[in-house]
Amino acid sequence: MSKIYYAPSHEYVMVDGNIGHVGISDYAQKALGNIVYVDMPEQGDDVTAGEEFGAVESVKAAEDLLSPVSGAVLNIKEALIDNPRLLNEDPMGNWIMEVEMTDLSELEGLMDEAAYAAYCESETH
């Protein structure tokens, strides 16, 4: 079973072995509102933990996406090109990129679900 980790910038990584599926959290999609565009990396690109890998644009704002992990991009979610609103409908089911992670110790710096929920709660107060 995959384990989910969250970054303070509201991206998640669903981990299965050394493969991670990276997307935006439910909290992030609710804060953004209707998502109209997703800028994604290309297959074969390298991403670095804490660095920008793309962006999401909504009718309210544009936000850079920061990778929670380092590695090589294996795939992107092609469906988001034509239908970025899939992130609003099911952000956990519609990851943005699939990454072959190069440093699993980076996961130790991320939050689990309970810590992330508390973090989001503290942001709203």
Distance separating alpha carbons of residues 125 and 106, to the nearest angstrom:
29
Distance separating alpha carbons of residues 97 and 41, to the nearest angstrom:
8
Bridge partners of residue 65, in order along the sequence? 54
85-112: average pLDDT: 97
Distance separating alpha carbons of residues 97 and 6, to the nearest angstrom:
15
Confidence tier at 125 by pLDDT (50, 70, 90): low
For residue 30, what are its two tokens?
Answer: 């609710």
Statement: residue 26 has pLDDT above 60: yes
Question: pTM of the entire structure?
Answer: 0.96
Asked if residues 99 and 69 have their Cβ atoms less than 8 Å apart, the reply is yes
For residue 123, what are its two tokens?
Answer: 């942001």
Q: Give 28-87 pLDDT, tens digit per residue.
A: 999 999 999 999 999 999 999 999 999 999 999 999 999 999 999 999 999 999 999 999
Distance separating alpha carbons of residues 52 and 49, to the nearest angstrom:
8
The pLDDT score that the predictor gives to residue 124 is: 72
The pLDDT score that the predictor gives to residue 22 is: 98
